[in-house]
Amino acid sequence: MKIHHLAQNNSVLNTFLSEIRDKNVQKDSMRFRRNIERIGEILSYELSKSLSFSETSVETPLGKKESFSIADSLVVCSILRAGLPLHQGLLNYFDKAENAFVSAFRHHPNNDDEFEIVVEYLASPTIEGKTILLADPMLATGQSLVAVFEALKKLGTPKEIHLISVIGAEEGINFIKNHFPENTHLWIATIDATLNEKGYIVPGLGDAGDLAYGSKL
């Protein structure tokens, strides 16, 4: 797996990361969503440099100009509900992409810290021969990404896989390395060292879905 860790080089990205972690700034859910969206835009720009482009001719009011456009057929797939602001950030740059949505949640069968990932809903076009951008803002254990990938396999074999996350844990990254093709790209804003006993990223930022859309039962 090819890992692109963007926060290693200082940019405005680090400002957005600081704000989504700050428990005081987090009180403004609209700002939290917008910052996740902006991080998605930055990740999209960097990711775009690795895509295939084809030469095109553009006619201006004064003549013609040779240019380049993305040649890959893209499918942006996000995990509900936390992935929605990140999904929007990707669409802001890849506006011609097709879209897929998956629900994946942690199920605790014994009402303790042990859990399994349950995928209940999948709406997606075929991914056969396409470039799939699989977005999950928090890459904690990595089990959600793997479960979603297994569900998507029924819809075809993609040409290329790009994983997009805002914050990830080293443990989760090591886990997905063993479950995705070797040529998979991971585009991640920043990486934290550990998970706690409940499988949440530390220091992380908390529950991204709750911060973006309010608490759930």
pLDDT at site 107: 58
CB 99 within 8 A of CB 80: no
pLDDT at site 109: 66
pLDDT at site 115: 67
pLDDT at site 111: 65
Distance CA 28, CA 9 (A): 27
Calculate ∠ Cα 204-210-212, nearest 5°: 90
- pTM for the model stands at 0.92
pLDDT at site 80: 87
Residue 106 has pLDDT above 70, yes or no: no
Cis geometry, peptide bond prior to residue 81 (ω within 30 degrees of 0): yes
- What's the CATH class of domain 2-51+70-200+208-213? alpha beta
Mean pLDDT of the chain: 93
| Sequence ranges of the domains in the chain | 2-51+70-200+208-213
Helical ranges in 24-142 per DSSP H:
29-48, 84-93
Question: Of 1-15, 28-42, 103-117, 191-205, which range is least confident?
Answer: 103-117
Please give the single-letter amino acid code of residue 107: H
In order of 74, 92, 133, 140, the CA distances from 176 in angstroms are 22, 27, 15, 10
pLDDT at site 217: 72
Q: What is the pLDDT of residues 26-81, one digit of tens each?
A: 999 999 999 999 999 999 999 999 999 999 999 999 999 999 999 999 999 999 88
